[in-house]
Chain A
Amino acid sequence: MAARRKGGKRRDGKPDLVESSIPPAAPLSRSSGAGVATSLPKSQVVAVTGAAGFLGLNLIGLLEEDDRVRRIVSLDLEPPRTAGQKTRVYEVDLTQPATEERVAEIFAAEGVDALVHLAFLASPSHSTAWAHELESVGTMHLLNACRRTQVRKLVMWSQTVLYGAHPTNPNFLSEKHSLRARRAEPFFADKIEAEADALRFGRPGKGRVVTILRTATLLGPTVRNYLTRYLSHRIVPTVLGFDPLWQFVHEADAVAAFKLAVDRDTPGIFNIVGEGVLPLSTVIRLAGRMGLPVPRPIMNTVTGALWLAQLSEAPPSFLDYLQYVCVADGDLAQRQMGFSPVYTTREALIEYASAQHLREVKLLSETPA
């Protein structure tokens, strides 16, 4: 799975996946269900794809300390740094045609009960064909492997950006809204396909539990993605005349949500978002940056050119998010999953900004993975 680390190189040659550096901190377990009564077997075997990515890394760190988990099976191209006693590391590339066979063997051998599927790109990639193989086709392989073995639970990562930014969006999108992100953009299209696949896998009557967690864009002191890179510029380009409301989820909250989904059986789709919204202009100022408003047509051209030159974080289709609102409602996760975020949108942003600033003045020298 780890295929993720191969593709989309960043400008600085770093892989374009969620990378991270710091193992999960204590607060992670705060909102993850302590003392939850579960119907799960006393000890389960959890497989994690994309284990070396930010979410996978931290989730494995949490599961290592959880007595209810007997074994963790890590599927990625690289071993996760947080792998401990309980973790078995397999080098699996989801983009290979033989993946299905291989994964099914691993699942059967390890007796995997639950699969946490995190092998998705956190940031848009230039190698779109590879990304398609990984996200869309890779998910298909995985789900087929699950069907062939006794995996009864799937927790999958998805993102609220898939709702798409439209002027006709309500201020808070619920899980019932259709995913209207631009299908022409492979970053969105592949994830939407994967989600549809997962929903087919979890059709009622099969006795399977499928939980899809749509997280808002992750932000926090250690996570790396296109958004953190966008906000790390001195001058941040915006669209002239538009100031949409934005929403983030703190990285620790996101990891906690996945832990919660592993702990409890809560089938369904859930938005995992921080509370509160902030206008983009305020986001930029709180991050200590300067906004540069540019008319959208110019922005389109410039971003397109920069993207081709591999100098921009995201292709022009992401400009919609600088213009229109795409904010999700986390109410359902609160009611049904019992997940309530610890950090608000603003706190997540400030956590990110302070860490970023320390990094800039070299007081914090963690090398982002």
Chain B
Amino acid sequence: MSSKRKQGGSGAPASERAPRRRKSRRRTKAPLADPASDERGEDGTLGIGSRVIPPPEMHDEPPASETPVVERMLDPADVQEEIRALEARLDGMIRRASERASEPPPPASLRDQVGTAARDVADRLGLPGGGEAARELFSSDYFLRQWGRLSLRNRSEEVDDFGLDPTYEKRIEPILDFLYKHYFRVSTSGIENIPASGRCLVVANHSGTLPIDGVMLRSAVRIEHPSVRELRWLAEDFIFYLPFAGAFFNRIGAVRACQENAERLLKKGSLVAVFPEGIKGIKKLYKDRYNLQRFGRGGFIRLCLRTQTPLVPCAVIGAEETNPMLYRVEYLSKALGLPYVPVTPTFPLLGPLGIVPAPSKWIISFGEPIRFEGYGPEAADDHVLVGRLSERVRSAIQGMLDRGLKDRRSVWFG
């Protein structure tokens, strides 16, 4: 091959250009490797150095790509344009040249080498058409799918144990940031009560018909907390029955609420948010706003006692007004398989547009951590104690809510 290049007359520049040309092709076209252009590519690399290329045509190219290197470096787009134009010309030349070439050029390109290797393997194995298969491999639809338009551009290849997809979250982060900073204008206080590391359980009131308070809590910690902490919130079962909602919330950090999941998360030292009111919280009517419902059966307290986790009470004010539920259509909810069918000032009235939350001002405040170091893990089985502690947390959050509401002058401006 090298001898051929020398024979070609313009040996040095041609051999230098050859790899460059291939590189640019990779950059511009490789992802959509179409069989025809591949074919040309192979012949091309071979043809450049071979003597069939007319020297005069070769000579007017080097100046274009080589002399003004310094200036061109500054404008990559121009260089690309230039290279592409040159490529087109080269392709034309090569086509003509290869038509004239009497003997097939020897294999030289990487692609060809792979092809030959595969042929050899296939020959040894006694397979028919090994070489054809190798070529197919590089120009198949598989490659299209793998690197083309259907690839995993917006999705991670790996998710964490609970399905959080970092790439996907990064992609919708601007939307979450907009909601957090400009739409709900969340003001957060007491974020320093969340420890910088180690497990911690945030217990918050649940409200607002649509379960977006979990998303906002996660954003609050992501945006406001000094050390990089990631909050996972436990979402009600029903989200996972619904199409789209379950997959979506799961990808951005929701985890189905159950003891096993919470315990697993806490054991890994994560920051977990729970809404002990559960579904009763988000489906309460507007007239009951900011009145904490029963706190389940105190499962979150048992969790804290078992795993020795500090608990941070949290009050979310403003979420109740996003979609104020005036009425629940009970008989429809059974038929539709939904936990509740809300009637809000806008919902059935404006159709799907009615579920857009109102831009109320949100205030999220985190209270002093409550620690359970005084109790051993066996305290989790003491029902009376669990009930008492649960009630204590509930009244702490209720107190925070009441104080916050007293200080709030406007639903829209805080």
Find out whether the CB atom of A172 lies under 8 angstroms from the CB atom of B152: no
Residues of A within 8 A of B240 (CB): 167, 324-325
Q: CA–CA, A188 to B21, complex, Å?
A: 59
Least CB distance from B335 to A in Å reads 15
Contact partner of B133 among A167, A282, A363, CB < 8 A? Answer: A363
Find out whether the CB atom of A171 lies under 8 angstroms from the CB atom of B246: no
A15 touches B (CB below 8 Å): no
Q: Which of B136, B150, B243, B256 has the most CB of A within 10 A?
A: B243
Q: Would you list which residues of chain B between 159 and 190 have a CB under 8 Å from chain A?
A: 159, 161-163, 165
Least CB distance from A216 to B in Å reads 14
A227 touches B (CB below 8 Å): no
Least CB distance from B265 to A in Å reads 9
Give 1 or 0 for each of B352-379: 1 = CB within 8 Å of chain A CB: 0000000000000000000000000000
Q: A242-B246, A363-B118 are in contact. Are A277 and B255 (CB under 8 A)?
A: no
Contact partner of B137 among A167, A241, A282, A361, CB < 8 A? Answer: A361
Quick one: closest B residue to A172, CB to CB? Answer: B264
Q: CA–CA, A172 to B256, complex, Å?
A: 11
Q: Would you list which residues of chain B between 136 and 165 have a CB under 8 Å from chain A?
A: 136-137, 140, 142, 145-146, 150-152, 155-159, 161-163, 165
Interface of A: prevailing SS:
loop
Residues of B within 8 A of A174 (CB): 260
Quick one: closest A residue to B260, CB to CB? Answer: A170
Q: CA–CA, A300 to B229, complex, Å?
A: 42
Q: A167-B240, A168-B237, A288-B145 are in contact. Are A282 and B157 (CB under 8 A)?
A: yes
A290 touches B (CB below 8 Å): yes
Find out whether the CB atom of B150 lies under 8 angstroms from the CB atom of A240: no
Find out whether the CB atom of A278 lies under 8 angstroms from the CB atom of B130: no
How many A-B pairs have beta carbons closer than 8 Å: the answer is 100
Give 1 or 0 for each of B118-140: 1 = CB within 8 Å of chain A CB: 10011001010110011011001
Find out whether the CB atom of A346 lies under 8 angstroms from the CB atom of B157: yes
Find out whether the CB atom of B127 lies under 8 angstroms from the CB atom of A245: no
Least CB distance from B216 to A in Å reads 23
Q: A167-B240, A242-B247, A245-B159 are in contact. Are A288 and B142 (CB under 8 A)?
A: yes
Quick one: closest A residue to B118, CB to CB? Answer: A363
Q: Would you list which residues of chain B between 205 and 239 have a CB under 8 Å from chain A?
A: 237
Q: CA–CA, A362 to B118, complex, Å?
A: 11
Find out whether the CB atom of B151 lies under 8 angstroms from the CB atom of A245: no
Find out whether the CB atom of B256 lies under 8 angstroms from the CB atom of A171: yes
Find out whether the CB atom of B247 lies under 8 angstroms from the CB atom of A276: no
A222 touches B (CB below 8 Å): no
Q: CA–CA, A329 to B165, complex, Å?
A: 20
B241 touches A (CB below 8 Å): yes
Residues of A within 8 A of B130 (CB): 363
Find out whether the CB atom of A242 lies under 8 angstroms from the CB atom of B243: yes
Least CB distance from A363 to B in Å reads 5
A88 touches B (CB below 8 Å): no
Q: CA–CA, A215 to B134, complex, Å?
A: 36
A-B CB proximity, top 6 nearest = A241-B243, A170-B260, A243-B247, A167-B240, A241-B244, A361-B133
| 19 A-B interface contacts by CB (under 8 A) | A170-B256, A171-B256, A172-B161, A172-B264, A242-B243, A243-B247, A245-B159, A245-B163, A277-B161, A279-B155, A279-B247, A279-B251, A288-B142, A290-B150, A324-B240, A325-B240, A360-B142, A363-B118, A363-B127
Give residues in B with beta carbon < 8 Å to A. Answer: 118, 121-122, 125, 127, 129-130, 133-134, 136-137, 140, 142, 145-146, 150-152, 155-159, 161-163, 165, 237, 240-244, 246-247, 250-251, 255-256, 258-261, 264
Give residues in A with beta carbon < 8 Å to B. Answer: 167-172, 174, 239-243, 245, 276-279, 281-282, 285-286, 288-290, 324-325, 346, 357, 360-363, 365
If A167-B237, A170-B258 are given as contacts, then 17 extra A-B residue pairs at C-beta distance below 8 Å, sorted by A number, are: A167-B240, A170-B260, A170-B264, A240-B243, A242-B247, A243-B250, A277-B159, A279-B159, A282-B157, A282-B159, A285-B150, A285-B151, A286-B152, A325-B240, A361-B140, A363-B118, A365-B125
